[in-house]
Amino acid sequence: MKYTYISDLKDHVGKEVTIAGWLYNKRSSGKVRFVIVRDGTGICQTTAFKPEVDPAVFETCDKLDQETSLKVTGVVRKDDRAPGGYELSIKEITILGESKDFPISPKEHGVAFLMENRHLWLRSIKQHATLRVRHQVIKAVRDFFDNRGFTLLDTPILTANACEGTTTLFETDYFGQKAYLSQSGQLYNEANAMAFGKVYCFGPTFRAEKSKTRRHLTEFWMVEPEVAFMDLEGNMDLAEEFVEYVVGQVVEKCRNELKILERDITKLECVKRPFPRISYAETQKFLQTKKEEYASSADPELKKLSEDMLKNGLGDDLGAADETAIGINHDRPVMVHRYPSAVKAFYMKNDPQNPEYALCVDVIAPEGVGEIIGGGQREESLEVLEGKIKHHGLPLEAFKWYLDLRRYGTVPHSGFGMGIERMVTWVTGTHHVRETIPFPRLMDTIWP
Ligand code: 4AD
Ligand code: MG
């Protein structure tokens, strides 16, 4: 049996087709039955009128429950009032699988309940729309790099050394030897860049972060470009062009999804280059002013924000509250560069002009989503890098292969990592990052 997808009904107006899907909703009155079917590609209203159809059709319609799987044969009609714009007049309807007491009804449910039923929650219209946007983001990410001559090279998930510090490693037993789930493909990406020039990796990464915020997952997907002979300025140019492209593609290709999600598209349409570039030192002055302004604000949310900002000391990495304050004061992403080297990873190159600061950049999204990109220029000197590894208390032996990249034809190089879920959270206007991945892994969630 060949079924027609609901998204293709426009090509079959006036013809008889069979669609297969699940009951999304139904309505009835004396002589008419409306059976609304979803098949993953769209939603279609199918209709039966008495006495035009066989009484058996009416009987079947009355037996349908939410999420019953079924197939419907009928003629396609264009109808602008129908959801999706096309209707089917039911000639035949068959139940494929029953669905008694589907747990997620159209009424409100608590998030804990929905998360326990994530495998079924995925069928809801908003979850479906969010994950379609995720798909488009991933496609745009790949197109962006593929169209610019980058080679995709996968990096290992099982690794013997830490990339982003040792505190958030998931440890595993590798045939009697300690191994860790990768926090980032960067170190291997650097080796790949020395062989291929422009590369990117895209895969799952793991962080045993004990933070229950709306921005943190323990397993998330990251895309990481790495380019030989590129400096920090070039890295910021690339990040900016990349973010503009991905957001632009979503706005262009996901109109329907963004509408379902009630996303204010004007907020995305202004995401155009150039993005503001502000040094960490400059952000400190800006944040100090905002802290004072918000402390005396009548808005309780801003007052709370200023209290949260106070918890972060001077010279620290930017806290979530600081990022929020930066984000809500700009209409496009902000690139904060040159953080104090003390708060950044061992591989960062120090700024020759001011060695207390690192040649790094974080891209902070507007609307309070926080950091979507982290990256920078890598230290290319063998001696300096060895010193940094020791200073960070990391075992030199484990980095022997990585140091070889500085031993044999070292060059300046840079790259960054973007978390797919943070990006999707921002473009869809979702509150919590957990709704932007089919099966989120959080500190307290590994099921389903
Ligand atoms: O800033 P991070 O830690 O940078 C790196 O891992 C670099 N090695 C990347 C590179 O230069 N190749 O992480 C990069 C991005 C963050 O900006 C954020 O978008 C995302 O990864 N991210 C997370 N997303 C969800 N949950 C978490 N726990 C995340 N931690 C980082
Ligand atoms: Mg970071």
Q: Is residue 254 a part of any domain in this protein? A: yes
Q: Quick check: 21 and 38 in contact, CB under 8 A?
A: yes
- Per-residue pLDDT of 352-404, as tens digits, reads 999 999 999 999 999 888 999 999 999 999 999 999 999 998 889 889 999 99
Average pLDDT over residues 80-101: 93
CA of 125 to the centre of ligand 2 (A): 32
Give residue 210's pLDDT.
87
Model pLDDT for residues 291-308, shown as the tens digit of each residue: 888 988 899 989 888 888
Establish if 109 belongs to a structural domain. Answer: no
CATH number at residue 158: 3.30.930.10
Strands 370-377 and 198-206 come out as unpaired
Query: How far, in Å, is the centroid of ligand 2 from the Cα of 156?
Result: 20
322 within a domain of the structure (yes/no)? no
CATH of the domain at 44: 2.40.50.140
Ligand index nearest the alpha carbon of residue 163? 1
Q: Which ligand is nearest to the CA of 363?
A: 1
Q: Which residue among 180, 198, 220 has the greatest number of ligand 1 atoms within 8 angstroms of its CB, and so is best to mutate?
A: 220
Whole-number Å distance between alpha carbons of 216 and 218: 7
Q: Report CA 20 to chain centroid distance, whole Å.
A: 30
The number of CA neighbours under 13 Å toward the Cβ of 429 is: 14
For 119-129, the pLDDT digits (tens) are 999 999 999 99
One domain, residues 265 and 378: yes
Token pair, residue 111, equals 């998030």
- The verdict on 93 and 123 lying in the same domain is no
**Nearest bound ligand to CA 186?**
1
Residue 286 lies in a domain: no
- Judgement on whether residues 138 and 45 belong to the same structural domain of the protein: no
Phi/psi at 145 (5° precision) = -75, -40
The residue segments making up the domain with residue 14 are: 6-97
* 294: in domain: no
Specify whether 256 is located in the same domain as 147: yes
Ligand 1 binding pocket (C-beta < 6 A) is 163-164, 184, 186, 207, 209, 216-217, 220, 222, 224, 371-375, 415-419, 421-422, 433
What is the 284 CA–ligand 1 centroid distance (Å)? 22
pLDDT band at 433 (very low <50, low <70, confident <90, very high): very high
User: What pLDDT is recorded for position 315?
Assistant: 60
Residue identifier of the C-alpha nearest atom 18 of ligand 1: 419
CB atoms within 5 A of ion ligand 2 belong to 374
User: 3-state DSSP: the chain helix, strand, coil percent, rounded to 5?
Assistant: 35, 25, 35
Strand (E) positions, 53-99? 69-78, 86-97
Contact 146, 152 (CB under 8 A): yes
371 CA: nearest ligand 1 atom: 17
Q: Give me ligand 1 centre to Cα 416, in Å.
A: 9
> Which of 134, 137, 371, 379 most suits a substitution to test ligand 1, by most atoms within 8 Å of the C-beta?
371
Please give the DSSP secondary-structure letter assigned to residue 35: E
Residue 46 has pLDDT above 80, yes or no: yes
Q: Which atom of ligand 1 is nearest to the CA of 218?
A: 28
For residue 375, which atom of ligand 1 is closest to its CA? 11
Give residue 126's pLDDT.
Answer: 95
Tokens of 187: 């170190």
Residue 241 has pLDDT above 80, yes or no: yes
Q: Are strands 177-181 and 158-159 parallel, antiparallel or unpaired?
A: antiparallel
